[in-house]
Amino acid sequence: MSQVAPLTTPEHKPPRRRARRAVVLAASALIAAPLLAGAATPAMAEDGNTYFTTEQQVLDFLNQSAPLNQKEAVKGYPASGQDSQEVKLDDVEKVYPHDQALKDVPDKLGSAFNLPPTIPTEGPDIRNSSRDDKEPWLSNWDAKSMCGQPSHNPGGEQQPCGFVGVLDKAYPVMQTSASVMGKAQFSYKTQATVGQDTSQTSGWSVGGKVSSELTTPGGPGGGKAGSELNFTYSESTTTTNKWTTMTEQTNTYDVPDGVSGRVEGRANGGWYIGYNVYKLDFTDGDGNRKQKMVLIPARVLIQAPGNSSPLTYVKRG
């Protein structure tokens, strides 16, 4: 899979979402760390305090340590990490047409998704939204329950499921401190605990949950911000790169005079918009066999494949 460099957010505007999203990601304390070669140049106060003034600077910086793929795939149904808000087909088609997704599926998810020409084929069955996930061929089972079930054709292979999508939102903000007007100083603590999903449910992708805190005790900007994120792993993520727990760390932000400073916790991953997909090979009670490919609009939070830290905390000004 090719990587995006430099990384920019897509030009389209994703659907407005008012409710809190359930997410999936992990963490690293990179605050005021030396800038990697090729990254955007952040602002620097006279005392050497480094902070970022634009969103693009943050994206460029994170793209050095946790690069994201423009396209992603997940083998198995993404039981963790899906956006809880409705995802509509019209919004997905604007950035990732279903015709292209159908071409990508065998390449990204494997030959199990091929449709043999010897079996009568219907469809493809393209659903109108993420809530339209009931299967009429199987008494309206939902996709999550159905995925990984034994073949519905005697002697056939296990039903294949997965997700394919394109990058929709890179490094989403998970937490932010209150803004403090400089000249001022405040300390902050960061920590994150990663709980891996140890279930062996056949047909589901592996993911987990991250519980994290950003605490600014006393003084200006005092308070605590916490969040829980559900996530899933990229198909390209190796076992050694899976997110791990981040121990508690204490840092200090010296906000320069005239600057409104804050700290942001950014997920080392991205929201991908695309389709949950499964192939159904079905034989009815009369022995008639047929098959189809089903695509259901979805939005999934996926870990950056090359970084084992769930979050990066950056200073903003």
Instruction: Name which residue leads in pLDDT, 54 or 158.
Output: 54
Look at residue 51 and tell me whether its pLDDT is greater than 70: yes
CA distance 67 to 183: 34
Q: Report the Cα–Cα distance between both ends of the chain, in Å, rounded.
A: 34
208, 82 contact by CB (below 8 A) = no
Asked if the structure places residue 118 within a domain, the reply is: yes
Asked if the structure places residue 59 within a domain, the reply is: yes
Q: Where is average pLDDT lowest: 55-69, 73-87, 204-218?
A: 204-218
> Which two structure tokens, joined as six digits, stand for 221?
């900007």
Number of structural domains in the chain = 1
How crowded is residue 101: how many other Cβ atoms within 10 Å of its Cβ? 24
Asked if the structure places residue 26 within a domain, the reply is: no
Asked if the structure places residue 98 within a domain, the reply is: yes
How crowded is residue 171: how many other Cβ atoms within 10 Å of its Cβ? 27
Q: Look up the domain containing 99 and give its range.
A: 43-316
Asked if the structure places residue 188 within a domain, the reply is: yes
Asked if the structure places residue 12 within a domain, the reply is: no
Asked if the structure places residue 25 within a domain, the reply is: no
Q: Is the peptide bond before 256 cis (omega within 30 degrees of 0)?
A: no
Strands 134-135 and 246-255: unpaired
Asked if the structure places residue 102 within a domain, the reply is: yes
User: What pLDDT score does 16 carry?
Assistant: 41
Look at residue 27 and tell me whether its pLDDT is greater than 80: no
User: What pLDDT score does 11 carry?
Assistant: 45
User: What pLDDT score does 130 carry?
Assistant: 98
